Structure 1
Amino acid sequence: MYFCQMFLRVMKKGILVLGLLMLTVSCSEYQQLLKSKDTAPKYSAAEELYNEGKEEESNKKLKKALRLLEQIEPEFRGKPQGERLVFLLADTYYQLGDYYNSPFQFERFLQLYPNSQKAEEASYKSAASYYYRSPRYDLDQTDTNKGVEELQKYLNKYPEGEFTEAANEKATELRIKLEKKAYEIAKQYHHTEFYKAAIASFNNFISDYPGSPFREAAYYYRFDSAYQLAINSFQFLMEERLEEAREFYKAYKKYYPEGEYTSQIEDSLLDIDKRLQNF
């Protein structure tokens, strides 16, 4: 039993040493490859590392592939392998999650090879890069707007394309993010009692985003902003503002007769009617 355990320990150490030795040799070979001026083995190694890295989701292998691709891509411009290399370079950035370099590289690929079989994939991944760059809704939405624009370009060009479903899902998600930002800005005006600004913002929101999931809430808070503005107004302004709030009540009830905010809005209407009797 003791000798068996000793044998197993020796075997494990041997395997570990062998693994480390192979890794050292592999790293050494890679470093030599980087220094070499022979582009053919670099091309083969870059493609192999790219394929393995993509399949295994190994950033280490993808980064190694990227270094080789960056070295040799200029050497193959205008040659038959150039198209493949430019796409691999762009897609390696994409696979690594470098969504600031990937759209630029995909756009360059499309400019150089607009009729490539990889043109559709490049168009989609270029647009998707902006989707992944899109920040939280409360931050600057430049990349979100760009993502919607680019995804829509892809959908217009490839309405039945391989990535149509994914592009639609991403575009919808980005649009909802933009809607949420606009809605939250208007709602913030309401909560901070800037009721005139809130009413104007909700009017714009309702006009700009007719199919938004925040539409009902926008109708309600527009009404409530008008109601709060009216009851906190000087007497000579109150009647007109109460009537405006009543109109917003009608608009809410037209679209949401049994809506989520029915109880609150009905209570406010009773108060409006009572106050209007004084005029």
Structure 2
Amino acid sequence: MKKILYILLAFTALNSCSEYQKVLKAEEIAPKFKMGEELYNAGKYEKANRLFAQIVPNYRGKPQAEKLMYLYSNSFYRMRDYYVAGYQFERFASSYPESEKLEEASFLSAKSYYMLSPVYSKDQTDTVEAIEKLQNFINLFPESEYLDEANKLVKELEFKLEQKAFSIAMKYAEIAPGYTFDFDAAIKSFDNFIYEFPGSVLREDAMYFRLDAVYQQAMNSYETRRTVQGNVEHIKKLRLEKGKEYSSAFKNSFPNSKYIEEVNRMAIDIDNELKQYQTES
């Protein structure tokens, strides 16, 4: 019985395959649309896409064109070809601004760009573009059923940018001891991060490692001087004062931080180093 069932299934599959090849090679476009839709509804998106691709030019300006273009665009999305899906959904939205599928197509277009966003350690050009696309969708459809998901996706993408910026600053901090304790790039990167992402969950870490960078640079500085508009400035003193400022800022922002003991220790070291300058005018 099982053998007979297997033979029947195999015969059906072969027949179905031959029918598909027959329609694929035929000149008539209506059977291609019909079979393409059937295959699409059955979840066979690649086969459906091949049929749709053949007939899209033939349906331009016809009543069925809107439906065909939606199915064609979504077949790319279902196939995870997000570059093409994003582009095709944008074309659909532009061509059919009154369509009942406009909101969905606009969202899926924006989400396609989200799907192209790489891990935070890689170049984030696609992430920035995805945020722009999703934000445009949110602005155009503020009452959309997809609004919550769109906002969630934006937050995920924005966090990638935070991770990217933070990782760059950390990399500068890690290599600085090999460059005679020149932490300027690390400090600047942490400053930029804190300014650009004021609500980041990484803010506490950024403020701590910024202080640590300033502390290491100050404590390992030679006693050098420079003249600025006739005034003598002590380079080490300036760095120590910046460390004192950053330690105070950290303690005010995160009094119960996991880093607080280390911050207090650095603050004491900085104060002790600054005492040598107290008698100077």
Residue 220 of structure 2 corresponds to residue 222 of structure 1? no
| Matched residue, 1:115 | 98
| Matched residue, 1:23 | 13
Residue 139 of structure 2 corresponds to residue 139 of structure 1? no
Letter in 2 for 1:231: M
Q: Give the distance between the partners of 2:172 and 2:33, measured in 1 at CA.
A: 58
Unaligned residue ranges in structure 2 (runs of 5+): 177-181, 225-234
Instruction: Give the C-alpha shift of residue 45 in structure 1.
Output: 1.0
Q: Give the distance between the partners of 2:237 and 2:45, measured in 1 at CA.
A: 69
| Matched residue, 1:90 | 73
TM-score, normalising length: structure 2: 0.91
SS at match of 1:235: coil
List, as ranges, runs of 4+ consecutive aligned residues in structure 1 with deviation greater than 4 Å.
Answer: none
Residue 247 of structure 2 corresponds to residue 264 of structure 1? no
**Cα deviation 1:251-276 (Å, max 9, x = unaligned):** 11121111121011111111111111
| Matched residue, 1:202 | 190
Instruction: Give the C-alpha shift of residue 278 in structure 1.
Output: 2.3
Residue 175 of structure 2 corresponds to residue 192 of structure 1? yes
Identity %: 46
Letter in 1 for 2:18: S
The root-mean-square deviation of aligned C-alpha atoms, in Å, is: 1.0
TM-score, normalising length: structure 1: 0.92
| Matched residue, 2:58 | 75
**Cα deviation 1:105-128 (Å, max 9, x = unaligned):** 011111211121111111111111
| Matched residue, 1:4 | none
Unaligned residue ranges in structure 1 (runs of 5+): 1-10, 54-60
**Cα deviation 1:166-206 (Å, max 9, x = unaligned):** 11111100000001000110111111114111111111111
| Matched residue, 2:89 | 106
Q: Give the distance between the partners of 1:72 and 1:206, measured in 2 at CA.
A: 53
| Matched residue, 2:247 | 249
Q: Alignment length, in residue pairs?
A: 262
SS at match of 1:192: helix
| Matched residue, 2:230 | none
**Cα deviation 1:217-248 (Å, max 9, x = unaligned):** 11111111111110111113211211110001
The structure whose residues are more often helix, as a share, is 1
